[in-house]
Amino acid sequence: MSDNIAAMDVNHSKGMKKSIFAIGGMAILLFQSLAFGLIYTSFGTSVGKSFGLPEEKNVKIETQLYVPVSGKIRDLNISLDLKHTSFCDLSISIKSPNGTSAMISLYDVTNFVKDKQSFGWITLDNESTIKIDTAFNLSVGSFLPTGPNPISKFYSQQCLGMWKITVCDLVYYDTGTLDGIRFDMAIDPTISALSIPEPSTLIFSITSLIIFFKTKH
């Protein structure tokens, strides 16, 4: 009688170990599905257009940028290769492939530092701690745009497709050029992580599933 009980305890213990092993394998596979990493990538285009003569105003530069990858946007920084004698004269708007528009920077004579020059690449970043309308120096750096719409308006949207960027010089007396645009993006890919686990993890997970179902019979 005692031998039978001991044998039952051993078998129960082995069954428990197999179940724990199996559940562990399934948990790893599930974790890979949920924790599949973001893709960090950049896409840019040259522009090379002028805002015209200083005596002109409402001069608009429109350009397009194609993003060839699919996924949801988790972060987006917009960089401009901009040379201009008064950044505060400019409005900057972005339109996504699905039609969403955001005015991320807008001329406001009451808030902007006047005659603030831009000498090259500047980055508009929702996470920057330096507001672009109060910064005195726009040499290469990262700034928080303070237009009516934040860049985060595009977060969780699909990134694939043609984006439209419009920069408009709204005021007389100053001018410059827009030479290039770049998007720096963190993208949550739409490809399922279940389809591409690491081979060793896949084998372990399949083995775990087989063991799990065997222990149920």
- Per the confidence metrics, is the pTM higher than 0.95? no
Q: Which residue bears the tokens 């980055």?
A: 123
In degrees and rounded to multiples of 5, residue 136 shows phi and psi of: -90, -20
Looking at residue 125, what is its pLDDT? 95
Strands (E), the chain: 39-50, 59-67, 71-84, 90-95, 101-105, 118-124, 141-143, 161-169, 176-189
> Can you list the domains of the chain with their CATH numbers?
2-36+198-215 (no CATH), 39-189 (2.60.120.260)
For the record, the structure tokens of 129 come out as 């701690």
Q: Which residues contact 191 (CB under 8 A, 6 or more apart)?
A: none
Please tell me the predicted confidence (pLDDT) of residue 110. 65
Read off the pLDDT of residues 93-151 as tens digits, 9 standing for 90 and up.
999 999 999 999 886 666 666 667 888 899 999 999 888 877 777 777 789 988 899 99
Residues 35 and 183: beta-carbon distance below 8 Å: no
Sign of the CA dihedral with 17 first, then 20, 23, and 27 last: negative
Whether the per-residue pLDDT at 161 is higher than 60: the answer is: yes
Q: How sure is the predictor about 21, in pLDDT bands with cuts at 50, 70 and 90?
A: very low
Share of the chain above pLDDT 90, in %: 39
Cα–Cα distance measured from residue 25 to residue 35, given in angstroms and rounded to the nearest whole number: 15
Q: What is the pLDDT of residue 139?
A: 72
pLDDT at 34: 43
